A = this chain, B = another copy of it.
Amino acid sequence: MESITGRTRLFAVLGDPVAQVMAPAMMNRLFRERGVDAALIPVEVSPGDLAAVVEGLKRIGNLDGFLVTVPHKLAVCRHADRLSEAARLAGSVNAMRREADGSWSGDNFDGAGFVRGLLGAGHAIAGKRLTLVGAGGAGVAIAAAVLQAGASAVSVVDIDPARAEALAGRLGERWPGLARAASSPDPASDVVVNATPQGLREDDPLPFALDGLCAEAIVADIIMKPAQTRLLREAAARGLRTHPGLPMLNEQIPLYREFFRIP
């Protein structure tokens, strides 16, 4: 987007907070590079206002779609007229678009983005054991995607044990015996993923203890800002391998582009 005029098409990213999101910079660069007169704007919306804001955005004629981030990925599902398989499996949406008939479709590219990012960094997933910390909107999408990519076991940890049980149960229906709820990371994990918002702020507590992980474990974070969270710094200081949050978004940009039908 060179400059916004009355003809500019709109996309949005909804979050709370929203100041940290990278999607506007990355998608607006894409629009510029491709000569598309469109802009992606940040939309800060609290959980209590999500329904009103989403229903308002859906009625804006020149708004073609929106991305969804913390903490709205689960709640936004009910505003879609249909869900992709990834979104249904995750029970979580991170992208919505208007179809030609005016209806809205929800999809979720968090899992695919995470898997592509991890593979792209040279780390295997097939046959590996993973622990997913945080069974929120991004966590459930990642858990489903790593199982689809051939992970041999997924442990789900959440501050709310019932939420971890529920996710493990849903995954178990599709991949019997491969998913279980746990109260702390599986010590035999090849990859431990932080999918909680802990780490957005420098003074956040660590999302899980690093003690007891095996020396070859990879500690992954999906937080993009800061790029190096305290979790990743402390893991590196212990000699563990780390995987940052940005690749998950980078790998989603071409998926968003296809989903939003950007030329």
A1 nearest in chain B by CB position: B4
When chains A and B are docked, how far (Å) is the Cα of A4 from the Cα of B4? 11
Given the complex of chains A and B, what is the CA–CA distance between A63 and B44 in angstroms?
8
When chains A and B are docked, how far (Å) is the Cα of A48 from the Cα of B56? 12
Whether a CB of chain B sits under 8 angstroms from the CB of A7 is: yes
A39 close to B6 (CB less than 8 A): no
CB-CB contacts below 8 Å: A1-46 with B: 1, 3-8, 10, 13, 15-16, 18-25, 28, 39-46
Residue of B nearest to A17 (CB): B6
Q: Taking A61-B16, A62-B18 as contacts, is the C-beta distance between A5 and B42 under 8 angstroms?
A: yes
Q: Residues 53-73 of chain A: 1 if any B CB is under 8 Å from the residue's CB, otherwise 0?
A: 111110111110000000000
Nearest Cβ distance between residue A46 and chain B, in whole angstroms? 7
Instruction: Assess whether A100 is interfacial by the CB under 8 Å rule.
Output: no
Tell me whether A52 is interfacial, beta carbon within 8 Å: yes
- Inter-chain contacts of A41 with B (CB < 8 A): 4, 8, 10, 39, 41
Asked whether any CB of chain B lies closer than 8 Å to the CB of A49, the reply is yes
Which of B7, B18, B45 is A59 in contact with, Cβ under 8 Å? Answer: B45
Task: Report A58 CB to chain B, min CB distance, Å.
Answer: 8
Complex CA gap A28/B61 in Å reads 21
A4 with B44, Cβ < 8 A, contacts A53-B59, A56-B57, A60-B53 known: no
Q: Are B42 and A6 closer than 8 Å at their CB atoms? A: yes
With A24-B6, A25-B5 as known contacts, state yes or no: A44 contacts B19, CB within 8 Å.
no
Q: Which B residues touch A13, using CB under 8 A?
A: 6
A69 (CB) vs chain B CBs: closest residue: B6
A16 / chain B contacts, CB cutoff of 8 Å: 61
Decide: A46 and B24 in contact? CB cutoff 8 A.
Answer: no
Q: Which of B1, B21, B52, B55 contacts A6 (CB 8 A)?
A: B21
Chain B residue contacts of A61, Cβ below 8 A: 16, 18, 44-46
Q: How far is the CA of A150 from the CA of B3 in the complex (A)?
A: 40
Interchain CB contact under 8 A, A45 and B60: yes
- The answer to whether B42 touches A18, judged by C-beta atoms less than 8 angstroms apart, is no
Among A19, A40, A62, the one with the most B-chain Cβ atoms within 10 Å of its Cβ is: A62
| With A55-B52, A56-B53, A57-B56: A4-B42 Cβ-Cβ less than 8 Å | yes
7 contacts between A and B (CB under 8 A): A3-B28, A5-B42, A7-B42, A8-B24, A8-B41, A43-B63, A56-B57
Which 4 residue pairs spanning A and B have beta carbons closest together? A56-B56, A44-B61, A49-B59, A6-B21
